[in-house]
A and B are shown apart, each in its own frame.
Chain A
Amino acid sequence: MITVKNLTKNFNSFSALKGINLRVKKGEIYGFIGQNGAGKTTTMNILAGLSRPTKGSCLVNGKDVTKIKHPSELHIGYLPEAPRFYPWLTAFETLEYLGNSGGRRVAAARIKELLDWVGLSEAVRRRVGGFSRGMKQRLGIAAALIHDPELLIFDEPASALDPEGRNDVLNLIKKLKNMGKTIFFSSHILSDVERVCDTVGIIIAGKMAAEKPLPEMLKEDILPSYDITLQKPIDSGILDKLSQIQGVSKVTGNELNLSVMTDAFFDTSLLFKFFVDNKLAVNSFARRQNRLEDVYLQEVNTNDKQS
C-alpha cells in the first residue's frame, strides 16, 4: 500500500532524509522506529501529502505523492504526532466538521459510534479545549477513521501517553488490523512496536537501517545468553570456573541468579555437565528472548561505527 524509493528530503542545507526505501503491505501493521530527529515525522508528513519530497518516489494507495494537488486525494487516515483541534468545538462538532469536508457527508449516528469506539462517549458534547492529551489522541484516531480509509498513518500515536493510555491506543490499533486496515505507525517506544507490529522498519539518521518482519528481526544473530537460577548460593570461585568453559564469553550475576553469554554455536550440555560435576541444583534455566531493543541498539551501534 506504500512503496517508498530513495526518498530524500532537505530543509535548506540540512538533509533530513537521505534516500529512504520502505514497503508497507496490505493488511499489516508496520512499525517505524527510530530516535527523535531520525526523520520519522518528516517521512510521515510526506506520505500524508503535507510536505513535498526533494527527491525520490512515494506511492501511497497507488498514488504518487508528488503528483497530487491536495492531501485528501491519497485517501488515507492520518494522525499527526500532536493532533491539533479547534478548542472551541466539541468532540462531536469536530468530527462533524471534518467528516462533512470535501463534499462528503457523515451521519450523526456514525460520529457517535466512532466516538463510542475510541472511548469518548462521555465527552461527545464537551469542548476539545478541556481534553487531556490521551483524549485528544483518541479523538485524533476517530478523526483519521471518519471516512473509513483502508490505510492509516499514525505518527507516534502512543508515545506521549501514560501507560494506561498507551495500552488503550495499542489495543485500538490491533482492533483496526482485525478490521482489515493497513496501519503504518511510528514510535520510539520499542516495546509498543514489539507488541503489535508485523513488520518493523528502523530509521537511523535519515537512512533505513533495517526492514524485516518482526519474528525475523528478533532472530537476528545476537549472541545467545542464558538466565540461570540456582537453588543455593555459590561462591565467586565457581563463577570464575564457569567462565572458563569453552564457548562462554561472559558471566554476570550474583550468587543465586546468573547470566551466561556464549558464542553463537554454544553447546548448552557443557553447562549442565558443569552443574552436575559441581553438584549444583538448578531451579530454572532459560535462553533469553531477543528483545527488539537489543536488535535496535545493535543497529545503532553498527551505524555509529560506520560513520
Chain B
Amino acid sequence: MIVTRELILMLLPVIVLQLGLAVYCAVKILTEGVQNLNRWVWLLICLFINLIGPITFLLVGRKRDL
C-alpha cells in the first residue's frame, strides 16, 4: 500500500497546478468582479471543483464589459 506521504508527493504537480489556478481565479473574482453568478458561488466553484471549476469561471464567469 502506498503511504499517504508518497501519494501527496506524486500528486504534487497536480496540486500545485490546481492551487495556482484557484488562487489566480480567487484574486480575479475579488478584484475584477464576476458575471452570471454570485461572486461567492464562483469562489466556491473555483476552490472546490477540480480544474473544471476555475476553467468554467475563466470562460463564462469573468466580468466582461464592452
Contact = CB atoms under 8 A, between A and B. Distances in A.
Chain A directly contacts chain B within the complex, with at least one CB pair under 8 Å: yes
A87 interface: yes
Specify the main secondary structure of chain B where it touches its partner.
Answer: loop
A37 interface: no
A129 B64 CA distance: 7
Nearest to A130: B65
Give the interface size class of chain A: under 10
Nearest to A83: B66
A84 B66 CA distance: 6
Contacts of B64: 87, 129
Contacts of A84: 66
A216 B51 CA distance: 69
A130 B31 CA distance: 13
Interface string B5-29: 0000000000000000000000000
Nearest to A136: B66
Contacts of A85: 66
A129 B66 CA distance: 6
A246 to B, nearest CB: 63
Nearest to B64: A87
Interface in A231-245: none
B29 to A, nearest CB: 16
Interface in A83-122: 84-85, 87
Contacts of A87: 64-66
A87 B33 CA distance: 15
B31 to A, nearest CB: 12
Nearest to A131: B65
B40 to A, nearest CB: 23
Contacts of A129: 64-66
B34 to A, nearest CB: 14
Contacts of B65: 87, 129-130
Interface of A: 84-85, 87, 129-130
